[in-house]
Every structure is written in structure tokens, then in C-alpha cells.
Structure 1
Amino acid sequence: MGLNPIVLVIVIFMISIVYVTLSTVRMILMMKGYRYLAAALSIVEVIINILGLGLVLENISQIQNLISYAVGFGAGIVVGSIIEDKLTLGYVTATVVSPDNSDHLAKQLREEGYGVTDWETNGHEGPRRSLQILTPKKRELKLYQTIKELEPQAFVVANDSKTIHGGFWIRTVRRGRLFN
């Protein structure tokens, strides 16, 4: 391939960014249960990777090509993580432990549209109120902000939820009325 050396470095860099970004998106899709879409994306990912590596290996004596591929790989990690933040696929389950043992926080969160299951628990310093809240990942930060405003002393732990079945919340999601 008779590309200008500067153009070749840029092409290799861009191919590497695209490859790693696609790899990141594929992994997210796999973890969220979109296996067929992830499989289709992996085909494109492999083709792009082979093209990039081929260019590097074809011009292996030019160290700038190898460096370009490596720097593009690192940049692809950054781009992939930014895309991951933007995709916000799936749901999050937040467990909240409030020092206020009343159902005040649970009622306020329900008024905001969140599905909340709450119960009385005991902590190191006595009775507490525990809440379990399911929310779309794209509303996760809003949930944390709301909890912090309503109960600044609350302890919050969140996990991605892969499987969800049953409950009023699922019926609301399927009807498309969640947070409308």
C-alpha cells in the first residue's frame, strides 16, 4: 500500500480507536443480554482489527505505526468508556439504608415515580429503614441526587440489574408510563 507515512499513521490510529470502541460496546451489549447484536458487532470488530494489524505488520519497520496503533488503542478505551456512560442501558437496583426508621423517605420516592420496597432493619446504631429501588440506568444519578436531598445521612449501594420479572414496576415499564 503506497500511502503517505503521515496518512498511514493517522489511518492506523483511527482504526485502532474504532476497534477498541467497538470492543467496549460489544462487551456492554453482551452484559446487558443483547447477544445477537453483540455477535454481529464482533464481526465488524474483527475485520477492523485485522485491517489495522495488517497495516502495522506490513510496515513493521516503521515504529511510528506501532506507536500509532498503541496510542489509538488507549484512546479507544477512553472513547469506549464515554460511549458506555452515554448508552445507559438497563436498570439499577439501589439499596438504601436510612437512619430515619419512618416510611417518610419511601413515600417521597414513590411520589417521584420510583418503585420502592421498604422494611424495618437494624443497624449498628439501632433501628433503620431499608429501601430497595429499581430505576432505569439513565435515571441513576437523579435517584442519588433525590436521596441525598431527602435523606443526606442515607447509606446507598447500587448494582446493575440484569433480570427483572414481575411487580407493578414492570407493568408500568411495559405500558411506557415510567416517569412520564
Structure 2
Amino acid sequence: MFENPILMVIIILVINIIYVSFYTLRTILTLKNYRYAAALVSMFEAFVYVLGIGLVINNLHQIENIVAYAIGFASGVIVGMKIEEKLALGYITVTVITSRVRENLAEALRERGYGVTVWTAHGRQGERMMMEILTPRKNEWNLIDSVKGLDPNAFIVSHEPKSFHGGFWVKAIRKDMRP
């Protein structure tokens, strides 16, 4: 089986895509504090890595194996990122600044199930309404689309909070983030 150079290149390519996808996923799980899931993924990652690197090192005289390894590595980064996007672990905070101060945009978002904190701010061109909304990452684009539907000119910034304390979301968040 390993005598066929084309099959060898395909195997190395696929193994490295799997390895780097596991690597990316493990890194993200570690950063999100899912320690047991990260440890489990790292077991598979190590197994696949040793398998792939062993094939390349034992056949260093074939440059196509090294090229396949490099292409598999790059492809694995993309695949790992796509997997992470689909998982959408964690929460994001979306800050919205709108000039529509008199309209009740916060209530419209609350009716759609979002928790919204709102206050009045003063910008360069006068009074503004600021809203801060915490939501699971998987809902990020739905939330942004909802805001754009209410105010196409709203300034929207999303970021990932690192820790949580207080507020009505904390019990649900703690349960979701429990390692």
C-alpha cells in the first residue's frame, strides 16, 4: 500500500488535515476552558500526528510527501476553523450605538429574546443610545441582522468576554461553561 507514491501523498495529506483540525479544535477548547474535552481531543491529535510525521520522516527522499504534509497542514487550519465556526462555543457581547434614541430598539430586541442593557451616551453629533447585548456565539449573526433590520446605520461591535459576574445570565453561562 505504501509503495504507491500517489496513495502515500493522499494518506499524508488526509492525516495532516485531520491532525491540524484536531490541533485547532484542542486549542480553542483549551482557551474556552473545556479542559476534559481538550484532553480527549489531544489524545487523538497526538495519535494522528505521530502517524503522519512518521510516514513523512520514513520517506524524506520523496519531496511530494513533504509537500503533501505542508498542504495538509494549511488545509487542516482551514478545516479546523470551519469546525470551530460551526461549534460556535462561548458567548459574545455586542455593543450597538444608534442615533435612534426615541425609538425603543432595546425593547424590540428583548421581544426577540435578547437581554439588553441600554443607556444614553453623547457622541460627536449629539445624543446616542448605547445597547450592550450578551448572546451565545451561535446567535451572533442573527442578532447583528436583527439590529441592522431595526437600524441599518447602527454602529455595531462584537467581542468575546473573558469572564462573567452578576446579572441574570450568569447561572445559565456557568452551567454551559462548566468543564
TM-score computed with the length of structure 1 as normaliser:
0.90
Matching of residues 30-179 of structure 1 within 5 Å: 30-102=30-102, 104-170=104-170
Alignment partners' CA distance in 2, 1:174 and 1:20: 30
Larger CA deviation: 67-76 vs 94-103: 94-103
CA 1:79–1:154 in structure 2 vs 1: closer, same or farther (change >3 Å)?
same
Alignment partners' CA distance in 2, 1:9 and 1:160: 39
Output one character per residue of 1:101-152: Cα deviation in whole Å (capped at 9) or x when no partner. Answer: 2361111111111000001101111111111000111111000000001011
Cα contact 1:90–1:162 (8 A) shared by 2: no
Q: How far did residue 174 of structure 1 move?
A: 8.1
Could you list the runs of 4 or more consecutive aligned residues of structure 1 that deviate by over 4 angstroms after TM superposition?
171-176
Question: Please, which runs of 5 or more residues in structure 1 have no aligned partner?
Answer: none
Cα contact 2:16–2:76 (8 A) shared by 1: yes
Output one character per residue of 1:131-177: Cα deviation in whole Å (capped at 9) or x when no partner. Answer: 1000111111000000001011111111112323332234567899x
Q: Which amino acid aligns with 2:94?
A: A
Aligned residues with identical type, % of pairs: 47
* Count, aligned residues: 176
Larger CA deviation: 1-10 vs 30-39: 1-10
> Is residue 2:4 matched to residue 1:4?
yes
Cα contact 1:89–1:138 (8 A) shared by 2: yes
